[in-house]
Amino acid sequence: MKTHEVVIQPGRSEKHYWRDLWKNRELLYILSMRDISVRYKQTILGTSWSLIRPLTTMLIMVFVFSKVAKLKGDPGIPYPLMVLAGITIWTFFANAFTQISTCITANSNLVTKVYFPRLIMPLSSIVVSFIDFLIALGLFVLIAIWYQFWPDWHILFLPLFMVLALLASFAFGLIFAVLNVRFRDIAQLIPFLVQVGFYACPIAYSSRLVAGESWYPLYILNPLVGIIDGFRWSLLGENAFFNPTSIVYSVLIISVVLVISVYFFRKRENTFVDDI
Amino acid sequence: MRQRVVSHRFATKRHMAVITVEDISKRYIIDHKKGKGSNSIKDAVVEQFRKLFNGKNSSDAERIEHEEFWALRDVSFAVEQGDRIGIVGHNGAGKSTLLKILSKITEPSSGRIHIRGRIASLLEVGTGFHPELTGRENIFLNGSILGMSREEIRRHFDEIVDFGGIEKFLDTPVKRYSSGMYVRLGFAIAAHLDPEIMIIDEVLAVGDAEFQKKCLGKMRDVSASGRTILFVSHNMTAVQALCNKTLYFERGQLIEQGETNQVISSYLSKVSKTRLARHWATPEEAPGNDLVRIKRIELIPEYRDNQNFIDVRTPFRVRFEFWNMMDKANLNLSLHLNSMTGECIFNVGTQSQPFAKGVISGECLIPGHFLNDGTYNVSVMIVKDTVTPLYNMEEGLIFDVADYREGVAWYGKWPGYVRPQLEFHTEMMEENILND
């Protein structure tokens, strides 16, 4: 057997970091399982909460924006389906982003007592949020069947937008996670950001409504715009508004932020415990 | 037997350093702020602006706000294959920081460490236990946090449950466990780790005496199997029993390293807040009153060879001198020996007898194998006519009695105020009563 050698030096990241990360995949699985199984302990409704929440949000949105504010959806698409598609992908992003941002401090009992590649924690936040997302997507399918709405070939692009949403939450979440270790202000800031994001992104309305505005070029610099529009487009077809330029922006911005945030995280992760 | 000797010789011959620590330092920056917390963005932003406007040199007042603190400073040592290293020192001496660096939980500010072999560190019992999860689920959770594969955990599952003694509560959430069960389960999991190097931080401070015995037994097995152990503890008896070498830290520095008994004896003699002798040259400065004044009080141990601290075996004398300013008085001395919590262990007095003006001395011999280990103080009272206290010198001396045991595989705190060596024996009365 080959002996396992480790050199510890300031600023020196583990040589076999990515291999270590792969070796710890069981830990990733177990931490994710922990978060999933713990969440609905001592609740009466149990896992059905993960259906109740998006469903009620959708009903409120439909009531407020469609019946009260009388916003127009995309032509040929039932307004509730449009909203639900937006809510589904946004909720995934927002949950994953929020949980990644606070994952280090939430697991401080582990961070201060054992070593493992710290990226396991944000990854496990993603796994948990992704499972919620799959449940919400199932809900969407049921409601689409209710409206007798069938997807077409656009659905083939769905995984692309899911992956982009995942990478976006990871990229932005990591930076906030590192900052939150040192500055707990971040934990206060996040719900606020998520709330602003909800209205800044085309969730309750279609991007078609703002496409003519003079500030539209700025609007699509928000990487979530392209992802949400694209997600809708792949689920609901050609009638849903989708500007291909916006997804190009999304890919570019997310790639840059992802590289920076992983670098930043790796640089700081060895001393999380000193600030926590 | 023969084979064991050979393999042992082989192991010692290799002299392989499994851990080499070179000039490790760890520096923390402490923010001195009054009242509010300093970890807010506002402070960081304000600080940046200050730098921007004031240039790089911050004023003295600001420099004080960010004080450097060296948790470890230039620490170097090497650990060889199969060594059992005890790490001792006061709280805040840097022991835990060292363990955290070795376990890769935090990185050093400078220096270099080379480790050969898989490390498991046990800085806490039951790390990551989730209160809502059952004992069974937590075994898997904690096991994988400590680095076991699920396959390994499954293999050891029954042993873990058995060692922890929690069969009946396997499917109960651990938040319903008693603290004893919680600790037992935590240790049971850790005990089934199979690393080449094991780092343990004061795990024995928790749990009842019986459980501590079990833990120490397990650690003994682990060390007997040739694995390397680093063990931080305040329990000198346990360190003495388990470790062949000891590192002694003080204020972030490695003060002494070497053979356990030697290091521990110098540690004990340094840390004790003892006051073994006090002496006043003239009556003017001495404590007392117009009638009597204390001249000298001292404790004179009768050490064994090469020993420089008092343990439960050491006999010692308490010597006392005072000035008597009265022309003629019937005086006697009364000596109280108290525990540090204030209980009087015993009180002895001398016969009252007439004394003229001058210096009077008294001496009391306290035999070895009498006091239990602990910290004690001595008060001496000067009494006139057997009923009138003239002066009472409280806590005149303070001293430690260290533990010492032989032929006992139990290292918990020995109960009782005294530990006399009384005649107590057993003998076989009748054999084979079952085969009547």
Q: Which of B27, B113, B144 best tests the A interface by mutation, with the highest count of A CBs <10 A?
A: B144
How far is Cα B28 from Cα B281, in angstroms, rounded to an integer?
Answer: 47
Set of chain A residues whose Cβ sits within 8 Å of the Cβ of B115: 5-8
Number of helices and strands (H, E) in chain A?
A: 12, 1
Name which of A7, A30, A111 is nearest B140 (Cβ-Cβ). Answer: A30
Nearest chain B alpha carbon to A107 = B128
CB-CB under 8 Å, A113 with B124: yes
Q: Which residues of chain B have pLDDT under 50?
A: 1-14, 34-38, 57-64
CB distance from B125 to chain A under 8 Å? Answer: no
CB distance from A214 to chain B under 8 Å? Answer: no
Q: What is the dihedral of CA B163, B165, B170, B173, to 10 degrees?
A: -110
CB distance from A154 to chain B under 8 Å? Answer: no
Hey, which bits of B94-233 come out as E strands? 110-116, 119-122, 197-201, 228-232
How far is Cα B62 from Cα B38, in angstroms, rounded to an integer?
Answer: 14
CB-CB under 8 Å, B114 with A6: yes
Contact A220, A249 (CB under 8 A): yes
In a domain, A14, yes or no: no
Query: B119: which DSSP letter?
Result: E
> Both tokens of residue B262?
């030697």
- Please compute Rg for chain B using Cα positions: 29
Set of chain B residues whose Cβ sits within 8 Å of the Cβ of A188: none
Nearest chain B alpha carbon to A109 = B128
Contact A227, A86 (CB under 8 A): no
All residues at 6 or more sequence positions from B259 whose CB lies less than 8 Å from its CB, including other chains: B244, B245, B246
All residues at 6 or more sequence positions from A37 whose CB lies less than 8 Å from its CB, including other chains: B133, B137
CB distance from B38 to chain A under 8 Å? Answer: no
Partners of residue B374 on adjacent β-strands: B401
Q: What is the dihedral of CA A107, A109, A115, A120, to 10 degrees?
A: -10
What's chain B's average pLDDT? 83
Place of tokens 């004790």: B272
> End-to-end distance of chain A based on CA atoms, in angstroms?
37
Contact A113, B124 (CB under 8 A): yes
CB-CB under 8 Å, A9 with B108: yes
Residue B282 class from Cβ within 10 Å (0-12 exposed, 13-18 middle, 19+ buried)? Answer: exposed
Crossing angle (nearest 10°) for helices A158-182 and A79-106: 40
Contact B125, B190 (CB under 8 A): yes
> Both tokens of residue A84?
């639900």
pLDDT digits (tens, 9 = 90+) for B152-201: 899 999 999 988 888 889 999 998 988 888 888 888 888 888 888 888 88
Set of chain A residues whose Cβ sits within 8 Å of the Cβ of B41: 183, 185
> End-to-end distance of chain B based on CA atoms, in angstroms?
39
Residue B79 class from Cβ within 10 Å (0-12 exposed, 13-18 middle, 19+ buried)? Answer: buried
Task: Tell whether the model's pLDDT for residue A43 goes beyond 90.
Answer: no
Residue B306: phi and psi, rounded to 5, are 60, 15
Task: Tell whether the model's pLDDT for residue A1 goes beyond 50.
Answer: no
In a domain, A256, yes or no: yes
Longest dimension (CA), chain B: 100
How far is Cα A122 from Cα A167, in angstroms, rounded to an integer?
Answer: 11
In a domain, A19, yes or no: no
The full DSSP string for A7-23 is: EE-TT---TTHHHHHHH
pLDDT digits (tens, 9 = 90+) for A159-184: 999 999 999 999 999 999 999 998 88
In a domain, A92, yes or no: yes
Task: Tell whether the model's pLDDT for residue A226 goes beyond 50.
Answer: yes
Q: What is the pLDDT of residue B4?
A: 39
Contact A149, A81 (CB under 8 A): yes
Q: What is the pLDDT of residue A119?
A: 92
**Domain span holding position A114:** 24-35+44-275
Q: What is the pLDDT of residue B124?
A: 82
Q: What is the pLDDT of residue A222?
A: 92
Domain count, chain A: 1
> Both tokens of residue A230?
């694209």
All residues at 6 or more sequence positions from B408 whose CB lies less than 8 Å from its CB, including other chains: none
C-alpha A51: how far from chain center: 17
Contact A139, A56 (CB under 8 A): no
In a domain, A219, yes or no: yes
Domains of chain B: 15-118+195-270 (3.40.50.300), 277-401 (2.70.50.60)
CB distance from A41 to chain B under 8 Å? Answer: yes
CB distance from B128 to chain A under 8 Å? Answer: yes
CB-CB under 8 Å, A42 with B132: yes
How far is Cα B186 from Cα B189, in angstroms, rounded to an integer?
Answer: 5
Express as a percent the part of chain A with pLDDT over 90.
Answer: 39
How far is Cα B224 from Cα B121, in angstroms, rounded to an integer?
Answer: 18
CB-CB under 8 Å, B119 with A6: yes
CB-CB under 8 Å, A185 with B40: yes
How far is Cα A224 from Cα B320, in angstroms, rounded to an integer?
Answer: 85
Q: What is the pLDDT of residue B205?
A: 57
How far is Cα B327 from Cα A10, in angstroms, rounded to an integer?
Answer: 75
Contact A123, A94 (CB under 8 A): no
CB-CB under 8 Å, B123 with A114: yes
Nearest chain B alpha carbon to A3 = B117
Q: What is the dihedral of CA A141, A145, A147, A149, to 10 degrees?
A: 80
Contact B138, B150 (CB under 8 A): no
> Both tokens of residue B392?
């009472």
CB distance from A182 to chain B under 8 Å? Answer: yes
Q: What is the pLDDT of residue B58?
A: 46
Strand order in the sheet with B84-89: B119-122, B197-201, B228-232, B84-89, B245-250, B253-259
Q: Which of B75, B137, B145 best tests the A interface by mutation, with the highest count of A CBs <10 A?
A: B145
Closest approach of B26 to chain A, Cα-based (Å)? 10
How far is Cα B371 from Cα B63, in angstroms, rounded to an integer?
Answer: 52
How far is Cα A139 from Cα B396, in angstroms, rounded to an integer?
Answer: 80
243-272 of A, contacting B, C-beta below 8 A:
270-272
How far is Cα B247 from Cα B255, in angstroms, rounded to an integer?
Answer: 8
Residue from B370, B366, B375, B346 nearest B418 by CA: B370
Mean per-residue pLDDT, A36-42: 81
Q: Which of B105, B112, B130 best tests the A interface by mutation, with the highest count of A CBs <10 A?
A: B105
Confidence of residue A66 (pLDDT cuts 50, 70, 90): confident
More confident residue, B44 or A34: A34
In a domain, A9, yes or no: no
Cβ atoms within 10 Å of A80's Cβ, excluding its own: 18
How far is Cα A19 from Cα A84, in angstroms, rounded to an integer?
Answer: 39
Confidence of residue A81 (pLDDT cuts 50, 70, 90): confident
Q: Give the number of A-B residue pairs with CB atoms closer than 8 Å.
A: 111
In a domain, A13, yes or no: no
Q: Is A187 helix (H, G, I), strand (E, B) or coil?
A: helix
- pTM (2 d.p.): 0.74
Contact B244, B259 (CB under 8 A): yes
Confidence of residue A46 (pLDDT cuts 50, 70, 90): confident
In a domain, A103, yes or no: yes
Place of tokens 């409704």: A45
CB-CB under 8 Å, A273 with B144: no
pLDDT digits (tens, 9 = 90+) for B298-330: 999 998 887 888 889 999 999 999 999 998 899
Q: Which of A26, A40, A266 best tests the B interface by mutation, with the highest count of B CBs <10 A?
A: A26
